[in-house]
Structure 1
Amino acid sequence: YLADLKPQTGLAPPAGTLPRYRLQEMLGYINSELHKTYSPLFNPATPAETRAERETYLRRRYGLVEKQLEAGKYLFGEPFTVADAYLFTVTNWARMVNFSLAEFPNLRAFQERVAGRPAVQAAMRAEGLIK
């Protein structure tokens, strides 16, 4: 929706194109395979066994993202898209729940690259996530 309000930003390919469907596919993946998996990791009452299972699940799912990021700077190479913004947000939670990204060099580089974008820094400052 936001990308369609300002198509000149290039945050999403044009509607009805294969690249747009690939973007929607990735948004669905981030939502259903990554985002929801963090919920029990934020809950201090989650049993250790459940936490370990969720971390194993996340590692497998991040493996696919790691492979996708081999192609370039962002999930689809260039340009930066709404899927990159969503992936950055969800993956940023890893540090909040002590989930290591050490085995994912492409993902770590992606996180650093996106964190360095001026608009991302401004948003994170506004949210009190960085100083």
Structure 2
Amino acid sequence: MDLYFAPLACSLATRIALYEAGAQAGFIQVDTKRKRLRDGSDFYPVNALGQVPALRTDEGWLLTENTAIMPYVADQFPSAQLAPPAGTAERAKLQQWLGFISTELHKAVFVPLLDPQAPADVGDYTRRKVALRLGVLQKHLDKREFLLDSFTVADGYLFTVLNWAQYSGVDLSQWPAVDAYYRRVAQRPVVASALAEEVALHREELARQSAEA
């Protein structure tokens, strides 16, 4: 399978899942500002929204949206135990957390805060949402190591989104359990490796864009 990704974007969550699963996968970098692949070709034919992640499966069909991609990856590699079995209460809880991360954190909080073109009042409105949502996480993660009983694809997604706090003015230390969770997951060897790779790619991308400007 092939993952279309952009460095430090939400596609990092799928990279983490693939690495945790020990999957053989290709990684195709996307310039999401210009909506182009590294070879200069147009990305829109791959995803009409111009967004990552997009996953080309071994069967040749394309899957988008983290809430669909992450359970799919987990189910392709059941021995990695990255998701509870389908049809169980724990699987429903996994889907609940994927939905929470996607809608309440990713889209509702961090996308507006990270958008340099967002009006100031949008930023102010969004920042008023932060405390409630991270408060929910704080309560859940207090005395818990992961979102569920063990590391799952939801943890990879949550780590990816929380990693944006440092770039958006959100101080995780206000929520000690959330901050400790982020730092703990960051120490997982696979997560640390995936993050380091994408940090390096992000720096290369910034340097290339600066040279082309």
Q: Does the pair score TM above 0.5?
A: yes
* TM-score after normalising by structure 1: 0.91
Aligned mate of 2:89, from 7, 10, 18: 18
Partner Cα distance (1:26, 1:8) in 2: 21
- Following superposition, the deviation at residue 12 of structure 1 comes to 0.4
Partner Cα distance (1:65, 1:129) in 2: 29
What fraction of aligned residue pairs are identical, expressed as a percent?
Answer: 43
Partner Cα distance (1:101, 1:91) in 2: 8
For 2:124, the equivalent position in structure 1 comes to: 52
- Following superposition, the deviation at residue 129 of structure 1 comes to 5.5
The alignment status of 1:123 with 2:194, answered yes or no, reads yes
Partner Cα distance (2:165, 2:130) in 1: 10
Secondary structure of the 2:163 match is helix
After TM superposition, the structure 1 = structure 2 runs for residues 1-131 of structure 1, keeping only pairs within 5 Å, are: 1-36=72-107, 37-76=109-148, 78-128=149-199
- Is the radius of gyration larger for structure 1 or structure 2? 2
Q: Which has the higher helix share?
A: 1
Q: Alignment RMSD, CA only?
A: 1.5
The letter of the residue matching 1:73 is E
Partner Cα distance (1:55, 1:62) in 2: 11
* TM-score after normalising by structure 2: 0.57
Partner Cα distance (2:170, 2:134) in 1: 12
Could you tell me which runs of 5 or more consecutive residues in structure 1 were left unpaired when the two chains were aligned.
none
Q: Decide which moves more: 45-54 or 81-90.
A: 45-54
For 2:36, the equivalent position in structure 1 comes to: none
Q: Which has the higher strand share?
A: 2
Secondary structure of the 1:19 match is helix
Distance 1:112 1:129, change over 3 A: farther
